[in-house]
Amino acid sequence: MEFLQYFGGVFEPTSFLLLIGGTIGGLILGATPGLSPTMAVALLIPFTFQLAPTQGLILLGAAYTSTVAGGAVSAILLRIPGAPANIATALDGNAMAVQGQGAKALHISFLSSGIGGVIGVFLLIFLTPVLAKWALLFGPSHLFWMAILGVTVIGSLDSKSFVKGLLSGCLGLWLSMIGYDDIQGAQRFIFHDALTGGVSIITALIGIFAIPQVIEMLAVGRQRQDIAAVTVSKQPFLESVKLTLSSVKSLSIGTVIGSFIGLIPGVGGQIAGLLAYDQTKKFSKNPESFGQGNPQGVIAAESANNAMVGPSLVPLLTLSIPGSPTAAVLLGGLLIHGIFPGGDLFDNHPEVIWTFINSMLIGQILMVVFGIWVAGYAAKVAQVPKAIMASAVLVLAVFGAYSVQQSMGDVYVMFVLGVAMYFLEKFGFSAAPLVLGLILGPIAEANFIQGSMIANAMNGPFEYFMMGSLNLFLIVLVLASIAWSFVTSRKEAKNAAAAGDA
Amino acid sequence: MNDLTSPISSEQSNDASRLGYLVPAILILGLASIVAWLSYTQEPASAFLFPRLISTVMLLLALWNFFRAAAGKSKVGKGLTRTTWMRILPGIMLMAAFIFFAAKYLGFYVASTGVFFLLYSGYDPASHLSPKSWVKRIVVTIVFMGVVYALFTLLLKVQTPRGIFL
């Protein structure tokens, strides 16, 4: 119960104001179609430079939590999911809104998000220290394999083609090697002066997540968006509370699936929401009512995508392996504040980490309160023309990248990576494995070099890296993640071919 | 701006051709080959131990991807249609001109204001002939850049490069 000691830090005036600001801002950003939670957190990182590590993390954590929930507003009122995590919410949420139950849909959406989120954060509180102690047993060879596992898992699961997923991971690992080698100071892959200091993680994150979305918005051209929001009339809040609390089955399915998916590195909220929705529908006595405005569909999807948030930080804080692409961006935020995840994190920075985790708990409650209040305004923001959104995101991305080191070189790198990522995504490559490769690359290399030195003094690299039960276990996991993805993508290709023939 | 207003037809939005997928596969293979070649030829060898490991895997995967693309089995992703190209190219060129030239020579704020206004105006569905639309665009640009100035210069104390102007 160590976390209880650090609750006071959350209520310090600056921290609490940041928590409120991050929550409201995140709700509005989340409700805006085209602004994903990952991009919102990436664009916020430069604003944390001036803050103390705890305050910076509180802001990022609040934004992470509330952008995921905020995406439900546009999903319900406009049938446009604010984020991929809210796809399942749009199915029944919008049907409810069309039937005149928009307020009720918003209420149950935020209430179930809050309940799922609180359970998810409790899992984070109780699982993380246990895993962190276990992580202390890891030596360089294990940490090397863990980093490789992070890239292969996310490369396999987050991509529709496992070859392209793994290639994206390798591209990220290569990007992480650009610049000067840490041990000998040798120049590596410096093709331009802007790359002399290497590729800054924050710069890359902003470019990879913001610029493709800017170009995607431009791809719509000058077509008018005829988005009509459903009119929301007032409905009794208490009724929604009763409905949510009585939906034990949907809440249980949502939180269990969301928490489990969050713990698996790299899978993310989109899958959590859809899987929970699907399972709730299967277990329902009236599966045919799903898609027609069944509140249980909203409750399952929203409790799942927010229950995923807390557990997605468990592998991040203990093993440096993010549970979702947004958690990968958050890892960048931790690193720039000098917080290195790992087994000794809770010994070295207990006040920072526990205050951050506690703020996520309080943030869930604030998210429910402000969510219901802000929803009406957020829906209006969601209708802002794409031309304004694209221009605004571009300018913010350029200023954000520049402010990292006050260097134009960073802006060039950000733009080139962003444009390249747009084209790569169009041809099936994913941003998440690339980013994870970039983040985990230095960890993998440092442990590979350290392990090689130890191996040379012992029985050689083969025995050091390939033997031992933990090494073997991790190698099996790496191979299993690749094999699973290979089998799945072959199966999908066969199904697609069969559908094409038909 | 005809291409910016025409909707994408269902035929155009279908997956791009095999050639369309082969080009990125060739580019990735080229990049992987360069990375592998540099990793194995640069000195000191010990600094390139990890790059060699990764570039070898990358090259093998890039070869695999190339053969799949050549066989027409790599059609993952939406690809790019001609209409999409025509819509995004002016925007990308404008962004590139802003980042690589205007920001440095005109000054960060003036260039940012310009690119915001041009991008917004170019892609705004509202009429280009209506004075009211132009007033709205000017007001939105000024308000947004005011917020950016308050956030980055006043709050975060970021010193932006000055060119001929601010």
Interface contact flag, B115 A445, Cβ < 8 Å: no
Task: Give B64: exposed, middle or buried? Use CB within 10 Å, 0-12, 13-18, 19+.
Answer: middle
A268: region left, alpha or beta (phi > 0 left; psi from -120 to 50 alpha): left
Answer yes or no: do A184 and B46 touch at CB < 8 A. yes
For A180, the enclosing helix (H) or strand (E) is strand A179-180
Q: Enumerate helices (H) and strands (E) in chain A, giving the number of each.
A: 22, 2
Tell which A residues from 448 to 487 touch B, by Cβ distance under 8 Å. Answer: 448-449, 452
Buried b or exposed e, range B90-118, using 16+ CB within 10 angstroms: bbbebbeebbeebbbebbbbbbbbbbbbb
Considering only residues A411 and A332, tell me which one the structure prediction assigns the higher pLDDT.
Answer: A411
A423 in contact with B, Cβ within 8 Å: yes
C-alpha to C-alpha distances, A495 to A371, A492, A501, A502, B45, nearest whole angstrom: 41, 5, 10, 11, 47
Chain B CA closest to residue A404: B158
**pLDDT higher than threshold 60 for residue A474:** yes
* Residue A225 contacts B where some CB pair is shorter than 8 Å: yes
Residue B11 has pLDDT above 50, yes or no: no
Q: What was the pLDDT predicted at A295?
A: 94
pLDDT for A230 equals: 63
pLDDT of A207 above 50? yes
Interface test with B, best of A17, A59, A158, A163 (most B CBs within 10 A): A163
Task: Pick the more confident residue, B78 or B36.
Answer: B36
Which two structure tokens, joined as six digits, stand for A232? 């929301």
Q: Is A159 helix (H, G, I), strand (E, B) or coil?
A: coil
Portion 246-305 of A in contact with B at CB < 8 A: none
pLDDT at A473 over 80: yes
A488 in reach of chain B (CB within 8 A): no
Per-residue pLDDT of B17-40, as tens digits, reads: 677 788 899 999 999 999 999 999
Q: Which of A38-42, A160-164, A264-268, B60-64 has the highest mean pLDDT?
A: B60-64
Q: What's chain A's Rg over C-alpha atoms?
A: 22
Residues 6+ apart with CB under 8 A from B30: none
> Phi and psi (nearest 5°) for A188?
-135, 125
| Residues A164, A165, A170: CA angle, nearest 5 degrees | 90
Select from A286, A362, A270, A388 the least CA-distant residue to A323. A270
Neighbours of A462 (CB within 10 A): 9
pLDDT, residue A174, reads 96
Task: Supply φ then ψ for residue A475, to 5 degrees.
Answer: -65, -40
pLDDT at A38 over 60: yes
pTM: 0.82
Considering only CB atoms, A445 lies closest to which of B50, B119, B123, namely: B50
Render A124-136 in DSSP notation, one character per residue.
Answer: HHHHHHHHHHHHT
Backbone phi, then psi, for A318, in 5-degree steps?
-95, -40
Task: Give chain B positions within 8 Å (CB) of A59.
Answer: none
- Average pLDDT of chain A to the nearest whole number: 85
> What is the chain B residue with the closest CA to A148?
B54
Residue B10's pLDDT band, with cuts at 50, 70 and 90, is very low
Asked if B152's CB is within 8 angstroms of A222's CB, the reply is no
Mean per-residue pLDDT, A31-48: 80
- Substitution target in B3, B54, B65, B101 with the highest count of A β-carbons within 10 Å is B54
Residue A189 sits at the chain B interface (C-beta within 8 Å): yes
A383 at interface of B, judged by CB pairs closer than 8 A: no
| B130 to chain A, closest Cα gap in Å | 15
Sequence-separated (6 or more) residues with CB below 8 Å from residue A333: A41, A45, A48, A56, A57, A60
Of A163, A217, A395, the CB nearest to B64: A163
Q: Average pLDDT, whole number, for chain B? A: 86
* Per-residue pLDDT tens over the stretch A268-310: 556 788 889 988 988 888 888 998 889 999 999 999 988 988 8
Q: Highest mean pLDDT range out of A137-141, B8-12, B76-80?
A: A137-141
Alpha-carbon gap, residue A97 to A399, rounded angstroms: 38
> Among all residues of chain B, which has the CA nearest to that of A424?
B24
Q: How far is A112 from chain B, CA to nearest CA, in Å?
A: 33
What is the Cα A276 distance to its own chain's centre? Answer: 18
Count of Cβ atoms closer than 10 Å to residue B155 Cβ? 11
pLDDT value, residue A159 = 63
Q: How far apart are CA A385 and CA A49, in angstroms?
A: 31
| Cα A141 from Cα A465, distance rounded (Å) | 5
| Selected residues 73-92 of chain B with any CB under 8 Å from a CB in chain A | 73-80, 83-84, 87-88, 91-92
How far apart are the CA of A328 and the nearest CA of chain B, in angstroms? 21
Query: Across residues A433-462, what is the average pLDDT?
Result: 87
Instruction: State the Cα–Cα distance between residues B79 and A429, nearest whole angstrom.
Output: 11
pLDDT at position A333 over 80: yes
Residues constituting chain B? 166
Residue B6 pLDDT class (50, 70, 90 cuts):
low
Does residue A174 sit at the B interface (CB-CB below 8 Å)? yes
Q: How confident is the model at residue A11 (pLDDT cuts 50, 70, 90)?
A: very high
A3: tokens are 């976390």
Say whether pLDDT at B42 is over 50.
Answer: yes
Residue B105 with chain A: CB contacts under 8 Å:
none
The model's confidence at residue B48, banded by pLDDT at 50, 70 and 90, is: very high
Please check the confidence at residue A123 and state whether its pLDDT lies above 50.
yes
Whose CA is closest to A203, among A8, A13, A409, A32? Answer: A409
Residue A390 pLDDT more than 70?
yes
Most confident among A70-79, A197-206, B1-10 (mean pLDDT): A197-206
Q: Give the amino acid at B130.
A: S
How many alpha carbons fall within 13 Å on the CB side of residue B26?
Answer: 7
- The angle subtended at Cα A21 by Cα A301 and Cα A327, nearest 5°, is 50
Pick the residue with more confidence: A375 or B28?
Answer: B28
Q: CB A87: neighbour CB atoms within 10 A?
A: 18
